[in-house]
Structure 1
Amino acid sequence: MISIDKERLRALIAERKTTPRAVSRAVGSNDTLVRDILSGKSRNPQASTMAKIAEHLGAPIGELMTGVETPDVTGQPPSFAELPLIGPVQAGAWLALDDSSQDEPQMMSAALDRRYPTAQQWLREVRGDSMNARNIYPGDLVHLVDLINSGVRLNTGMIVEVTRTRDGGALREITLKEVEVTEAGITLWPRSLNPRWKDPIVLDDGDGGDLDVEITGLLIAKITRF
């Protein structure tokens, strides 16, 4: 279950010059979905539903949840910068990172997220289909921010870059997953229409010694290339 920031949801709808009914229809639900969330009639909407609403409104899902501490930058125009495209990320099986390459990363123009003024931001190209139920497809670019320096607290429904390190750091692998926060801890899930991708990752996953799993990036935008 997640706690919805209804005032922020209402503000986003107004800023986008749309209506609760239009948003409900856009995410493939009945006409009253968003109205019921705003009124409190729907108290525990599914994380997948909120992820669709956030994507339609062009906002990270964390904006729609209470307890996420981010600076107020409402009304400021976007600031564009050259961000590094630092390689691929696998939406599926783990993808080994090649740290031996001496090539400089490709730089691409993208809108900086002003809520994270001191946190590093970067791009990766998506491979695989384990997140296609969240409209993240092979060839898309994901815009990520350093989780630790962002000051964001993890909440259910966030999509993150996960890094797994083996052999004392000699082997590093990454993947994209969706966060589920429960009383038992944090679990990271694929969200795919492909039945091959169904097994979660437990954040404290380990083999008793030489395996470390951590969340290294928070997805803040997706860029579709045509």
Structure 2
Amino acid sequence: MRDLRMNAFCIRICLVAAFLVSASAVIWFTDADLIIARSIYPSGYMFEGIFRWPGWRVNPWAFLYNFAYIPGAILSGSALLILLGSLFVRFLKIYRRSALFLVLLLAIEPGLIVNILFKEHYGRARFVELVGFGGKYQYTNMWEPGESSNNSSFPSGHAAISFYMMAPWFLMRRRKPSQAISWLVGGIGFGLLVGLAILRPT
């Protein structure tokens, strides 16, 4: 039974990885992010003159961009408090491993991998830094190093902290599957919305 669960888990991971690779390939070959940014700039609305979908500096996207980190900060901050509290309060000890997982996941994924290893060294310019948007750098595709300074646009710290909201799924998927699915769907949905918000050329 344990082997079957492990195999099913591995299959799910492979399916997710295949989807992400496929989506990345579509963006790579179509320059979709650049196309969307051009559709927003400079009016502040996507597809101006067609159906005027709000974009650059317009709510809800501006709100999502500015406050994307708050849900992740609340989740990880609560986990940190529980982790520290478990050292002194007995009933919190049963939540110690879960809290440690949430804290470490935030520190490793959005923290170490995204913001320190990639963003500080990849050099992919933000849209506002590109020629055509008032900047001086040439467009480079994702996974393609650029010439910009540190704190580059790829990968997105906003998206990383937003997708972090699916983290409770890993902890609840067996004991509370319905709640786990809610976290998974909500985290993915929130991450996608923030991903749209950060396509604005700012």
Q: TM-score under structure 2 normalisation?
A: 0.24
Query: Which structure carries more relative contact order (alpha carbon 8 Å, separation 6+)?
Result: 2
Bigger Rg over Cα: 2
Q: Which has the higher helix share?
A: 2
Structure 1 length-normalised TM: 0.22
